[in-house]
Amino acid sequence: MYEFIERINEAADVKKFKVEELDLLAEEIREALFNRLTKIGGHFGPNFGMVEAEIAMHYVFHSPVDQFVFDVSHQSYPHKILTGRKAGYIYDDHFFEDSGYTNPGESEHDLFNVGHTSTSISLASGLAKARDLKGEKRNVIAVIGDGSLSGGEAMEALNVAGSELNSNFIILVNDNEMAIAENHGGIYRNLAELRKTDGKAENNIFRAFGLDYMYVEKGNDIPALIEAFNRVKDIDHPIVVHIHTTKGLGYQPAVEHKEAWHWCMPFDRETGLPTVDFGDGEDYTSMTAKYIMDKAKKDKDFLVITPAMPMTGGLSEDLRKELGSQYIDVGIAEEQAVAMASGAARNGAKPLVITNTTFIQRTYDQISQDVCINGSAVTILLNYTSFAGLTDVTHLGIFGISAFSNIPNLQILAPSSKSEYLNMLDWALDQNEHPVIILIPGNAVTDREADRDYSNIGRFKVEQQGEKVAILALGDFYQMGESLAAAVKEKLGFEPTLINPRFASTIDTELLEQLKEKHSLIVTLEDGILDGGFGQKIDAYYSTSDVKVKNYGLEKKFYDRYDPAKLLEELGMTNEAMVDDIRELL
Amino acid sequence: MYEFIERINEAADVKKFKVEELDLLAEEIREALFNRLTKIGGHFGPNFGMVEAEIAMHYVFHSPVDQFVFDVSHQSYPHKILTGRKAGYIYDDHFFEDSGYTNPGESEHDLFNVGHTSTSISLASGLAKARDLKGEKRNVIAVIGDGSLSGGEAMEALNVAGSELNSNFIILVNDNEMAIAENHGGIYRNLAELRKTDGKAENNIFRAFGLDYMYVEKGNDIPALIEAFNRVKDIDHPIVVHIHTTKGLGYQPAVEHKEAWHWCMPFDRETGLPTVDFGDGEDYTSMTAKYIMDKAKKDKDFLVITPAMPMTGGLSEDLRKELGSQYIDVGIAEEQAVAMASGAARNGAKPLVITNTTFIQRTYDQISQDVCINGSAVTILLNYTSFAGLTDVTHLGIFGISAFSNIPNLQILAPSSKSEYLNMLDWALDQNEHPVIILIPGNAVTDREADRDYSNIGRFKVEQQGEKVAILALGDFYQMGESLAAAVKEKLGFEPTLINPRFASTIDTELLEQLKEKHSLIVTLEDGILDGGFGQKIDAYYSTSDVKVKNYGLEKKFYDRYDPAKLLEELGMTNEAMVDDIRELL
């Protein structure tokens, strides 16, 4: 079945084929991708569109002497198959050997662990600079999708490459006319013009950055690609090779529905339908979408801003259209999204920025300077906030509280139920004083009555008044706190106090002071790393008192592809282990 | 003396002048700038170059209905003089009413507190979007210098403006052919071409972003500017107005030495020489420059990367030239600087990135993803790390430890003396395992013997073995710890233990455990906010024990233009107050 793939054990093996055999190899690679993706899911469209280009790259260049840096690495699976990692694609019991991203731990052909966009040109520019410093000779090739070009880091790098690197440097722009969703921004009109004119349009964005430029219309044609790569191989200056590819090529549903097929769950190849059961319970994503649509109708000042990835807020193409001028997707451009929101708030709009926790890291400075120093009432809604969400090292949500709870003026709200989540959204959007981050809970949807007003900043809520031990269970770890409280009662024979802090960034000093009366131990639970987080603010409050504090949460560590339940066990966060700790500390 | 300025009490007053009187007004504004800048210093070149443009802006547009957003706001003084704030320039006893940056607290004509570059287009795009949403009518004008265009956020915003805003939006590019230092990047060749061709060069970078474009060669000619602004006033789509100005115009030394005169200390107008005495003691900046030059000679793998502002590492134009290929200035592009360093480390270079603490915030994500997940041995050297350094709200160094000490794999070294600083630099650059941040001490240079090897990560140094109280005095607060230890001995009659932690991000759990034996109180001192910082890691370690911990440092707060000595007093960080605390806690 995998006649050609079976003959590839190392990168150089692809060079042994005749050019006319490479189309068959491409076909087999698509079969191998189907094998993995139908069964365990992963990035679909970017990989299917880049099969030919990656074959041609390995045919012309000599990895790892020549170095490839794949932007965001959603498109790196064919490269993995071609560099000794076919097993992870053709043998089902080897799937878990390969991560979904480039990973130097897997192979010397992967230069970096990469999962955020727009970094490949920067990283590769450093490789090239060090190569020149050491007098080495190798081609350095940065691969970047058109969607990633709108990110600031990518443009900073184009600008530097355009004048400060005066040696071999190849930027392979994979133009499939899409980001994850459709592209947004003026440069995409420029790319369209370039495609239409076989690369001859005026005001070429790459030439404007000072770069040499070559256009390859047939981006899925192996001989055309080989010819192009041979022309730029060993070139003595930076050049952009702009190739036009078809995202999802080889699977009609993916070609027709590019956004839906950027990434896939396990699916049935015949029908294109997912083979995993999502259950029919409520989920926070569709709840968010519904909230947004209702709010937009009621309030004409409400403005939704997404830095690409609108689906993380449940905003399908139809909903985006319906939002009309109350919605703007700025493309992959988190800094712009946050600063724009600050400007919009300044002129009386009620901006809501939506993205994933791991990507908001890009805007630490914008949140601090553009938003918080200016006291702009921007609401930032974060998805994948939980350790139980995305577990790839490049996509962890566990650093959010630590990173953002120490910026002055910023309030991080951690809802513990559906009503609390929706009420917090209402409050955050309608007030005009505080920059707010809301963490979408990462656990199953539960509901309880919740307050509507959060203007008493830092006010924790005592959900159950008890004694001896007070459990401060933050956000989506509240249910864990409930369960622990019950276990304490059962095993230790007294009812502890249970508190829903709600605020992750500001502590309720009045309540903490009161707790001293009847409590000798405070337990904190948070869904994130402990360092710099919520629990350590509680430690600090009690550090000069006799009250003891026990923090539960994650370590300051780059976890990678773990089993969340097992991790909780390792961290001593089972009821049994925590009750033992409490018994000992009392 | 200020005949025309005296007649300006509010923004509209400038409109009462005849066009031919405006040159005299410009002359007076320069006199007012001289008055302030010779006496208290501030941003020189950007303001002197923009006098005419800002007069023309206020002559044509109607602030605050029409809204101006000044990028980084180094150039906003003429605007301040024209909007009711002349007193801060012409009356010496009013200087301190005005900050050196735009500030909504001062005037409704200032939209944002701004001090970081490359944000004006983003912020203004939000103003424009909200205006449209609310159906209001006003011109929104983003002013940005050519130097700031290389920052990712600015380019993200150009891209969004180029296609997603379809209404009035004016981007005024103030091209004075300089960043703070010279520009770096391909777009500057493009700007040069545009200047040479009266805006007609091919591959126009702004048009490539999808924007309309107009060039004004005479950027210091009021009638030409008025004409241009009248043409774009009330325009119905985004446009770039590219004006060519002369940085420092009106003072020959500033025109000739643009980098030196970007910003000035109080100076003598006749000689151009500073009128403040710097003393002749050693300083960390020249020490850093000397170290860099020596290291570069000895080690050909050593690579210095600056995201503009080379002078913060003492790298004058001559030294930069001498470094040759071992130096790269990427322009204002912090993300590129850090990610490029990671790439360079990957290929065996020893990269040192130098900037100010407040600007490194821009790279939280690059440090986490591009550097730390990849374990790249990048050394980042930060200046203005101390609360006693830059005191403007937009430039505070006090958030550095809090922001970066919670990223896994990253080691923050806080040297407490000259030898320790230099030894840490040596160690950081020559090892190949750890991403490292080194905080340049903010106090006067002192020296003590220091270790050469820091590979025992997180190992604190006991400088004086004592009892009862252990003082952990971090980095440039070490001397404060020494003084406190002496005061404790004198006032309380026992010798406390004095510890130089050296590591701000990793704690010495072995030592902390040992301290329990003879100590009941730990005191921490750090030059930064307490939230998320060093002391709270110590609190966390002892939170379940009987040892008490008292943290000293700054509050989580946007301090603005304070007196450092007075602030220490308010924070209870005098020996007297701290000894009282200790007495009470023992």
Q: Which two structure tokens, joined as six digits, stand for A173? A: 């722009």
B127 vs A347: CB contact, 8 Å cut-off? Answer: yes
Print burial letters for A246-264: b (CB count within 10 Å at least 16), e (below 16). bbbbbbebbbeebbbbbbb
CA distance A132 to chain B (A): 9
| Dihedral class, residue A98 (left if φ above 0, else alpha if ψ from -120 to 50, else beta) | beta
Is A120:A101 a contact under the CB 8 Å cutoff?
no
Span A458-477, pLDDT tens digits: 999 999 999 999 999 999 99
Angle made by CA atoms A254, A260, A266, in degrees to the nearest 5: 80
Interface of A with B in 500-519 (CB under 8 A): none
Is the Cα torsion angle A331, A333, A334, A336 positive or negative in sign?
negative
pLDDT at A326: 98
Chain A residue numbers with beta carbons less than 8 Å from the beta carbon of B546 are 546
Q: Is A378 on the interface with B (CB under 8 A)?
A: no
Q: Is A361 on the interface with B (CB under 8 A)?
A: yes
pLDDT at A110: 98
pLDDT at B107: 97
In angstroms, rounded to a whole number, what is the distance separating the alpha carbons of residues A309 and A184?
A: 12
A535 vs B540: CB contact, 8 Å cut-off? Answer: yes
B361 vs A364: CB contact, 8 Å cut-off? Answer: yes
Residue A224 phi/psi, 5-degree rounding, is: -65, -40
Q: Which of B185, B339, B374 is nearest residue A113 as measured by Cβ atoms?
A: B374
Span A83-137, pLDDT tens digits: 999 999 999 999 999 999 999 999 999 999 999 999 999 999 999 999 999 999 9
Q: Is B150 on the interface with A (CB under 8 A)?
A: yes
Strands A379-383 and B436-439: unpaired
In angstroms, rounded to a whole number, what is the distance separating the alpha carbons of residues B534 and B505?
A: 7
Strands A169-175 and A238-244: parallel
Q: Is B348 on the interface with A (CB under 8 A)?
A: yes
In angstroms, rounded to a whole number, what is the distance separating the alpha carbons of residues A193 and A519?
A: 69
Span A232-246, pLDDT tens digits: 999 999 999 999 999
Q: Which of A328, A373, A394 is nearest residue B373 as measured by Cβ atoms?
A: A394
In angstroms, rounded to a whole number, what is the distance separating the alpha carbons of residues A360 and A365?
A: 10
pLDDT at A182: 84
Strands A497-500 and A461-464: antiparallel
- What topology does CATH give the domain A5-264? Rossmann fold (3.40.50)
Span B197-240, pLDDT tens digits: 999 999 999 999 999 999 999 999 999 999 999 999 999 999 99
Q: Which two structure tokens, joined as six digits, stand for B343? A: 């790439």
For chains A and B, CB pairs below 8 A equal 436
Q: Which of A129, A205, A373 is nearest residue B208 as measured by Cβ atoms?
A: A205
Is A536:B542 a contact under the CB 8 Å cutoff?
no
Strands A519-529 and A468-473: parallel
A361 vs B343: CB contact, 8 Å cut-off? Answer: no
Q: Is B385 on the interface with A (CB under 8 A)?
A: no
In angstroms, rounded to a whole number, what is the distance separating the alpha carbons of residues B189 and B211?
A: 19
A210 vs B204: CB contact, 8 Å cut-off? Answer: no
Nearest to A78 by CA among A102, A110, A55: A55
In angstroms, rounded to a whole number, what is the distance separating the alpha carbons of residues A190 and A207?
A: 12
Q: Which two structure tokens, joined as six digits, stand for B129? A: 């979007």
Q: Which of B112, B129, B348 is nearest residue A340 as measured by Cβ atoms?
A: B129
Domain borders along chain A are 5-264, 284-439, 461-585
B126 vs A402: CB contact, 8 Å cut-off? Answer: no
B408 vs A336: CB contact, 8 Å cut-off? Answer: no
Mean pLDDT of B367-389: 98
Higher pLDDT residue, B1 or B403? B403
Q: What is the CA radius of gyration of chain A?
A: 26
B284-298 vs B418-430: helix crossing angle, rounded to 10 = 30
Nearest to B125 by CA among B214, B211, B36, B39: B211
Is A149:A118 a contact under the CB 8 Å cutoff?
yes
The enclosing H or E element of B497 equals strand B497-500
Chain A residue numbers with beta carbons less than 8 Å from the beta carbon of B405 are 531-532
pLDDT at A90: 97
B119 vs A188: CB contact, 8 Å cut-off? Answer: no
Q: How many CB atoms lie within 10 A of CB A427?
A: 19
Q: Is B572 on the interface with A (CB under 8 A)?
A: no
Task: Tell me which DSSP letter residue B511 carries.
Answer: H
Q: Using the predicted structure, report yes or no on whether residue B512 has a pLDDT greater than 80.
A: yes
pTM: 0.98
Substitution target from B159, B240, B411 for chain A, most A beta carbons within 10 A: B159
Interface of B with A in 126-145 (CB under 8 A): 126-134, 136
pLDDT at A181: 79
Interface of A with B in 35-64 (CB under 8 A): none
Q: Name the percent of chain B lying above pLDDT 90.
A: 98
CA distance B424 to chain A (A): 23
A351 vs B126: CB contact, 8 Å cut-off? Answer: yes
Pick the residue from chain A with its C-alpha nearest to B537. Answer: A531
Nearest to A95 by CA among A36, A18, A181: A36
Q: Which ipTM was obtained for this model?
A: 0.97
CA distance A104 to chain B (A): 8
pLDDT at A509: 98
Chain B residue numbers with beta carbons less than 8 Å from the beta carbon of A341 are 126
Interface of B with A in 265-324 (CB under 8 A): 300-301, 303
Q: Is A549 on the interface with B (CB under 8 A)?
A: yes
Q: Which two structure tokens, joined as six digits, stand for B162? A: 């180029």
Chain B residue numbers with beta carbons less than 8 Å from the beta carbon of A162 are 185-187, 189
Is B506:B416 a contact under the CB 8 Å cutoff?
no
Q: Which two structure tokens, joined as six digits, stand for B571? A: 């924070």
| Dihedral class, residue B523 (left if φ above 0, else alpha if ψ from -120 to 50, else beta) | beta
- For residue B461, list its beta bridge partners: B500
Q: Is A500 helix (H, G, I), strand (E, B) or coil?
A: strand
Q: Which residue reads 């094998």 in tokens?
A: A35
Substitution target from B110, B112, B165, B336 for chain A, most A beta carbons within 10 A: B336
Q: Is A204 on the interface with B (CB under 8 A)?
A: yes
Substitution target from A72, A138, A156 for chain B, most B beta carbons within 10 A: A156
pLDDT at A277: 81
Confidence of residue A333 (pLDDT cuts 50, 70, 90): very high
Angle made by CA atoms B317, B323, B326, in degrees to the nearest 5: 130
Q: Which of B122, B368, B543 is nearest residue A548 as measured by Cβ atoms?
A: B543
Q: Is B210 helix (H, G, I), strand (E, B) or coil?
A: coil
In angstroms, rounded to a whole number, what is the distance separating the alpha carbons of residues B143 and B127?
A: 14
Identical fold between A5-264 and A461-585: yes
CA distance B301 to chain A (A): 7
| For residue B104, cis peptide bond before it (omega within 30 degrees of 0) | no
Residue A423 phi/psi, 5-degree rounding, is: -65, -40
Q: Which two structure tokens, joined as six digits, stand for B559? A: 């301090």
Angle made by CA atoms B329, B330, B331, in degrees to the nearest 5: 95
The enclosing H or E element of A169 equals strand A169-175
Q: Which two structure tokens, joined as six digits, stand for A403? A: 């990173």
CA distance B387 to chain A (A): 15
Q: How would DSSP label each residue in A446-470?
A: ------S---STT--EEEE--SEEE
Span A146-202, pLDDT tens digits: 999 999 999 999 999 999 999 999 999 999 998 777 888 999 999 999 999 999 999
CA distance B183 to chain A (A): 10
Is B307:B288 a contact under the CB 8 Å cutoff?
no
Chain A residue numbers with beta carbons less than 8 Å from the beta carbon of B127 are 343-344, 346-347
CA distance B283 to chain A (A): 29
CA distance B504 to chain A (A): 12
Pick the residue from chain B with its C-alpha nearest to A407. Answer: B556
Span A294-329, pLDDT tens digits: 999 999 999 999 999 999 999 999 999 999 999 999
Chain B residue numbers with beta carbons less than 8 Å from the beta carbon of A128 are 343
In angstroms, rounded to a whole number, what is the distance separating the alpha carbons of residues A233 and B368?
A: 33
Substitution target from B99, B111, B117, B123 for chain A, most A beta carbons within 10 A: B123
In angstroms, rounded to a whole number, what is the distance separating the alpha carbons of residues A59 and A57?
A: 5
Give Cα separations from A152 to A59, B143, B504 (angstroms): 32, 19, 30
Burial label for B290, CB within 10 Å (0-12, 13-18, 19+), is: middle
Class of domain B461-585: alpha beta
Pick the residue from chain A with its C-alpha nearest to B541. Answer: A539
B123 vs A361: CB contact, 8 Å cut-off? Answer: no
In angstroms, rounded to a whole number, what is the distance separating the alpha carbons of residues B41 and B39?
A: 6
Q: Which two structure tokens, joined as six digits, stand for A245? A: 């590819």
In angstroms, rounded to a whole number, what is the distance separating the alpha carbons of residues A142 and B261?
A: 39
- What topology does CATH give the domain B284-439? Rossmann fold (3.40.50)
In angstroms, rounded to a whole number, what is the distance separating the alpha carbons of residues A154 and B472?
A: 42
In angstroms, rounded to a whole number, what is the distance separating the alpha carbons of residues B40 and B22?
A: 27
Average pLDDT over chain A reads 97
Q: Name the percent of chain B lying above pLDDT 70.
A: 100
Q: How would DSSP label each residue in B281-308?
A: S--HHHHHHHHHHHHHHH-TTEEEEESS
Confidence of residue B279 (pLDDT cuts 50, 70, 90): confident
Mean pLDDT of B338-342: 98
Is B368:B396 a contact under the CB 8 Å cutoff?
no
- Residues ≥6 apart with Cβ < 8 Å to B537: A531, A536, B405, B507
Q: Is B351 on the interface with A (CB under 8 A)?
A: yes
B540 vs A537: CB contact, 8 Å cut-off? Answer: no
Q: Which amino acid is at A227?
A: E
